[in-house]
Chain A
Amino acid sequence: MEIEPSNHVHLTEHRDDEGQRMGMWIFLFTEVILFGGLFLVYAVYRNMHPVDFHEGSIKLNVVIGAINTIILLTSSYFVAMAVSSMQKGKVKQARTLLLLTILCAIIFLVNKFFEWQTKFHHGLFPGMEEFYKLSHGESLFFILYFFMTGLHGVHVIVGAVFIGFILRYIKKGKVNPVRYTLLENSGLYWHLVDIIWIFLFPLFYLII
C-alpha cells in the first residue's frame, strides 16, 4: 500500500485509494445485478409475448430516446475528462466539466419527463383507462418500460447528486489533484448509469 505524504494527509490517517476504488467496483456489480433481474424479467416476457412487445415498442419515440442516448454518452465523456483534468491539476477545468455533466443529467431528465408525459396523455400508465384496454403483453411492456427507465432515472438523480457533492468537496479542497478517488468513484457510478441506458435504449426503442 503506497501512502503519498502530502500537505493534506496526516500520516496516521488511514488512506487506501485502491481499496476505495475496489469498494466502488464491487458496489457497481450489485447495481448491474439489480438491473440484471429486470433484464431477465424482460427477456422472459418478451419471449412469452413477442407480438405485444412489438406493438408496445412502436409506440415509443425513437427520436427522444436517441437524443437522450447522445446526451448521456456526452456526459460520460465530460466526467471522464473531469477525472483527467483533475489528475493534471486543472481544478477549474474539472469543475466546469462536472457542471456540464450535471447539466446533461438535467436535460436527460427533462426529456424523460416530456416523454413520460406524452405516455400519460395517451393513458398508457397503470391506473388509467387506456392501460386496461391493452393486451397482457403490452401492459407488461409498458410497466417494464416505466419501471426500468424510472429506476434508471433514479440512478441518474443519485449520480448527479453524487457529482454535486464532489463539486462541493473540490471547493473545500477535500478532492484535489493528489486526492481524487472520490471523483473517480463518482465517475465510475456515472458510467454505470450510462451503460445501463445503453442496454435499455435498444431493448425498448430499437428492437421492434
Chain B
Amino acid sequence: MTEQAAIRKQPSFREPTGKYTGILSWITSTDHKKIGLLYLYSIATFFIVGVLLGLAMKLELIAPGETIMKAQTYNQVFTLHGVIMIFLFIIPGIPASIGNFTLPLLIGAKDVSFPKINLLSWYLYVLGGLLALSTLLFGHGPADTGWTFYAPYSIKTGTNVTVAVLAAFVLGFSSILTGVNFLTTIHRMRCPGMSWFKMPLFPWSLYATAWIQVLATPIVGITLLMIVVERTLGVGFFDPAIGGDPILYQHLFWIYSHPAVYVMVLPAMGVVSEIIPVFVRKYIYGYKAIVVSGLAIAFVGYFVWGHHMFTSGMSDTARVVFSFITFLVAVPSGVKIFNWVATMYKGSIDLKPPLVYALSFIFLFMIGGLTGLVVGALATDIHVHATSFVVAHFHFTMFGGTGFAFLGAVHYWFPKIYGKIYNFKTAIIGWAILFVGFNLLYIPMFIMGIEGMPRRYYDYLPQFTNLNRLSTVGSWILATGLFIIFYNLVKGVRKGQPATDNIWNGKTLEWQTESPPSQENFETIPTVTEAPYNY
C-alpha cells in the first residue's frame, strides 16, 4: 500500500487554504483539524513548562531544608505548576486538541457547528496562557496561594494573584465556548444514520464533558471575578475581617472545580473506550452501560464538591451526605472498568502502543480511584487530608489517568493526523520508562502521606528523607520517559514511515477517510448503518 500515500483524491487539510500560507494559514484557519493541532502544540508547550516546574519542586525535596529554592519560591512554583497543569494542560488537554481534531471525523461531519468560535476559543486559550506566564515577569512574581486561590490569603498576598485569576477566568471562557460548540455539533451534525446509540464512545464522553464545562465553569468565573473585585476595591466578599465568609469561597470554588476533574477524566475514559475494542478486535462490552455511566459521572459529579471541605467547617449532616454521594461516583467508574476488562475477555489482543497506554490507564486510574475512597471517607480523610497522600491520589487519577490516556490518544490518532507512523519499539520503551518513573514518583508519596508528610512544604522531617529521595529519582525517570516519547513522536512526524488510511483496522468513521484527512474530511458525507465497534 505504499502508493496510497502518493495518490490522494483530495489535498490534505495541512495544505494552506485561503489567502495565507505558512503559519498565518494556520492561525486564521477555522478548520477544526488545524485548530485541534494548534491546541495540541500549545498544550504540549505548556505541559513541558509544567513538567519543568514539577521537576524543580521534586529537586527541592531531594534533601531536608532549603536545597535549591526558598520557601516563598517553592510556594510560587507549586502554584504556577498547578495553574498551568490544571487550566492549560489537563482541562483543555483531550477535548480541545484531540477532541477538536477527531470529533467531526468520528460523527461523520465536515466541521464543528461554530468554526469561528472554535478559533476564538483557541485565541482565548493562548491569551489566558500568556497571562498566566506573565505573572512571572512583574511585581512580586507568580501567585503563591496554590491553584485553588483560597481566600482570605489570596486577598492579602502581594503576589500577582489578580492576573493569575484573570488568566483562569479567560481560560474558563475558552472552555465554555468549546463546550457550547461540541454540544451543538453532537446534537446537530451527526451523519445520516448515526442515531445517539450508534455514536462512538469518545464523542459520548465529549458530550458529557461539554455539559459540565457549560454548566460548571461560569460559577468559578464569577467567583474569580469576586476575588479580583475584592483585591482591587478592598471589600469583604471572602475576608472575614471585613465581613466576608472564606468558607463560601471554598464552596463556590469547588462547585466548579470538582466537576472540573470530570472534565479532565471523562474524555480520557472516552479515549480508552475507543482504543480497547480496536486492539482486541471485539465489540465493546456493554456499550450502553458505558454511555450511561459517563453521563451518570457527569451528573453525580456535580454534587460531591463538599468532599474537598471535610475539614474546613461544615455540619456533620453535610459531611455525611457529601461523603455518601462521593462513594456513589465510584459505581459508574467501576462499571466502566469492568466493561473494558470484559471487552478484552477472549479478545485477540494486539499490544500496540495505544493499547499499552489504555491498559496502564486502567491500572493507574484504579489505584487513583481506590485511594479516592480513602480521602472520600470522613474518618480516614481527617488523617490524610493536606498530606502528600492527597497529592499522590490526585496525580494517579490525573496524570496516571488522563495524562496516560492523552498520550494514548496521541499515539492512536497519530497516523490519522499525520499520515505517518512513529516507531513502535521506541514508543513502548518510552512508555515503560514513563510508567516506572511515574510509580516511583508517586507511590512513595502515598506512604509518606500516611506517615504524615504534609503537602506544599518545601522542607520535611529527616525520617522522610529516603522516600522523598526515591520520589525525586522517580521524577527524573519519568522525565526521561516523556523525553523519549516526545522525541519518538516528533521523529515520527518528520521521518516516519507512511501509514495507510486505516492502519489499525478501526471501524469508526475517522478511519474510513484519507490520512491525513482532506479539508472537507470525507469525499461524501458517510451514512452509518451499524453500531460503531462491529468486529
Given known pairs A16-B188, A136-B243, the reply for A38 and B113 (CB within 8 Å) is: no
Contact with B along A46-58 (1 / 0, CB 8 A): 0011000000000
A window 1-44: CB within 8 A of B: 1, 14, 16, 18-20, 22-23, 26-27, 29-31, 33-38, 40-41, 44
Given known pairs A16-B113, A140-B236, A143-B229, the reply for A37 and B223 (CB within 8 Å) is: yes
Verify if B467 is at the interface (C-beta below 8 Å from A): no
Please report whether the interface of chain A is mostly helix, strand, loop or mixed according to DSSP.
helix
Verify if A137 is at the interface (C-beta below 8 Å from B): yes
A203 nearest CB across to chain B (Å): 16
Verify if B222 is at the interface (C-beta below 8 Å from A): yes
Verify if A120 is at the interface (C-beta below 8 Å from B): no
Tell me if B226 and A41 are in contact (CB < 8 A).
yes
B window 244-262: CB within 8 A of A: 244-245, 248, 252, 255
Contact residues in B for A135 (Cβ distance below 8 Å): 243
Contact residues in A for B179 (Cβ distance below 8 Å): 26
Distance A29 CA – B216 CA, assembled complex (angstroms):
10
Distance A41 CA – B236 CA, assembled complex (angstroms):
12
Contact residues in A for B243 (Cβ distance below 8 Å): 49, 135-137, 139-140
Verify if B233 is at the interface (C-beta below 8 Å from A): yes
Contact residues in A for B234 (Cβ distance below 8 Å): 126-127
Residue total for A at the interface (Cβ-Cβ under 8 A): 35
Tell me if A27 and B236 are in contact (CB < 8 A).
no
Given B111, B183, B184, B219, which contacts A36 in the complex, CB threshold below 8 Å? B219
A103 nearest CB across to chain B (Å): 30
Contact with B along A122-161 (1 / 0, CB 8 A): 0000110000000111011001000100010000000000
Tell me if B235 and A27 are in contact (CB < 8 A).
no
Tell me if B237 and A14 are in contact (CB < 8 A).
no
Tell me if A37 and B236 are in contact (CB < 8 A).
no
Query: 13 A–B contact pairs at CB < 8 A?
Result: A14-B111, A20-B113, A23-B117, A23-B183, A27-B176, A30-B214, A33-B218, A37-B223, A37-B252, A41-B237, A136-B243, A139-B236, A143-B235
List residues of chain A with CB under 8 Å of any chain B CB. 1, 14, 16, 18-20, 22-23, 26-27, 29-31, 33-38, 40-41, 44-45, 48-49, 126-127, 135-137, 139-140, 143, 147, 151
Known: A16-B188, A151-B225. 11 other contacts (CB 8 A): A18-B188, A19-B189, A23-B117, A26-B184, A30-B176, A33-B216, A36-B218, A37-B221, A49-B243, A126-B235, A137-B243
